Amino acid sequence: MDEDLKLLFLKIIENNRQKILRICQAYARNKEDQKDLYQEVVLNIWKSLPSFRQEAMINTWIYRISLNICMRFSIKSKKENRANFAIEGISILDESRDLQINIETNEKINQLYACIAKLDDAEKSLVLLFLEDLSHRAISDITGITENHVAVKLSRIKKKLFNCINN
Amino acid sequence: MDENILKQLWLNSCNDQQVEINPEKLILSISQKINNIEKSVRRRDRREIFIAACMILLFGWWLIIMPHLLSKIGAAIIIAGCVLVMIRLPLARRNNIKKDTASAINYHLMVSLQSVKRQIKLLDTVAWWYLLPFFAGAICFYYSFPVSFTSKAIYTITVAILYGYIYYINKREITKVLKPLEQNISKLLHELSEPESYN
């Protein structure tokens, strides 16, 4: 891989680290899964980079890779051996929040993740893209389904999500 | 709670985690990882070809020097089996469409589904293109030797058990791993697709 692509790769990873982290977190059962998924997404970004040409579509591209990897993880046997998957140079660190200020927010976030976890994989992928504040058009590009269908699906999923959160 | 609050909550949800990146180490580690994967694939392909080539040479030699017709038939069947394996496996890998993780989710799922279906078909027919030629060849070859009926019977049973076991583990892989995977992908594809577009 040439130097320009390496720089582009690092820039993409740098600019999208939290975005990838959120998606991985939604599909992971624990911190170990999250780390494995994150590394696998990073590896696949590297692999797909030579065929990536449109800077403007970078968001779509990142979401596609992240969701395809996370859904693959979810579909495959949970017993799959992922031990060989260590990539060095990237680490996810937990930072302690100010508990007094954030205790309520933390609870809400945990509740949100718990409700997302109750959705099936297809619903989860759509709702995550909605929560990422993407337009129906962008969601349609990422998932490959029409905007109308995205709108219909999302309205049902949002209802489900809000019901779960409010109960 | 309205949509905007929910989105804000989501967008800030991983702020208690920080991703630390060491660029040089990351690039080096990924390059090594990719190299190792490519190397192991090349090693596997070479190993398969090497074993098949050795068997072809060995049984080719026996085909020439063995006087008995049955042993010649056995050696010929085994050679044909090796050639079949040498053609079938790389062909199956080559025909597997590359799963591009940067493609749209439903397209990626469709490609994955096709790939799983091909794997199921390959393992499902393993008796015909892998087990049967080697079993028949091994039996013919051994039966050409002047050995007792008991030893022929023991040999036949042993080989049958061995091939039966290989058949069983292939079938088991289909029922335990590939079929559930196929069902999961189909289900997901069905959930994502529009009602009229997916059958």
pLDDT digits (tens, 9 = 90+) for A102-147: 777 788 888 899 999 999 889 999 999 999 999 999 999 999 999 9
Residue of B nearest to A40 (CA): B30
Gap between the Cα atoms of A151 and A160, Å rounded: 14
**What domains are there in chain A, each with its CATH number?**
3-165 (1.10.1740.10)
Instruction: Reply yes or no on whether the pLDDT at B23 is more than 90.
Output: no
Confidence tier at A84 by pLDDT (50, 70, 90): low
Least confident of A44-53, A100-109, A124-133, B168-177: A100-109
Give the pLDDT score at B120. 92
Gap between the Cα atoms of B61 and B78, Å rounded: 12
Q: Which two tokens stand for residue A154?
A: 């999302």
Residue A101: phi and psi, rounded to 5, are -80, -35
Query: Is residue B1 within 8 Å of A105, Cβ to Cβ?
Result: no
Higher model confidence: residue B44 or residue A26?
A: A26
Domain boundaries along the sequence of chain B: 3-193
Confidence tier at B199 by pLDDT (50, 70, 90): very low
Instruction: Reply yes or no on whether the pLDDT at A94 is more than 80.
Output: no
Name the minimum distance, in Å, from the CA of B43 to any CA of chain A. 18
Name the minimum distance, in Å, from the CA of B191 to any CA of chain A. 6
Gap between the Cα atoms of A165 and B3, Å rounded: 12
Instruction: Reply yes or no on whether the pLDDT at B105 is more than 70.
Output: yes
Give the pLDDT score at A58. 87
Confidence tier at B87 by pLDDT (50, 70, 90): confident
Query: Is residue B33 within 8 Å of A43, Cβ to Cβ?
Result: yes
B61-72: pLDDT as tens digits: 999 998 889 999
Name the minimum distance, in Å, from the CA of A40 to any CA of chain B. 10
Q: Average pLDDT for residues B162-181, to the nearest whole number?
A: 93
Q: How many CB pairs under 8 A join A and B?
A: 169
B14 contacts in chain A (CB < 8 Å): 18, 21-22, 25
- Which of A23, A43, A19 minimizes the C-alpha distance to A33? A23
A52 contacts in chain B (CB < 8 Å): 102
Measured between CB atoms, which of B7, B23, B108 is closest to A10? B23
List, as ranges, residues 34-73 from A with C-beta within 8 Å of B.
38, 42-44, 46-48, 51-52, 61, 64-65, 67-69, 71-72
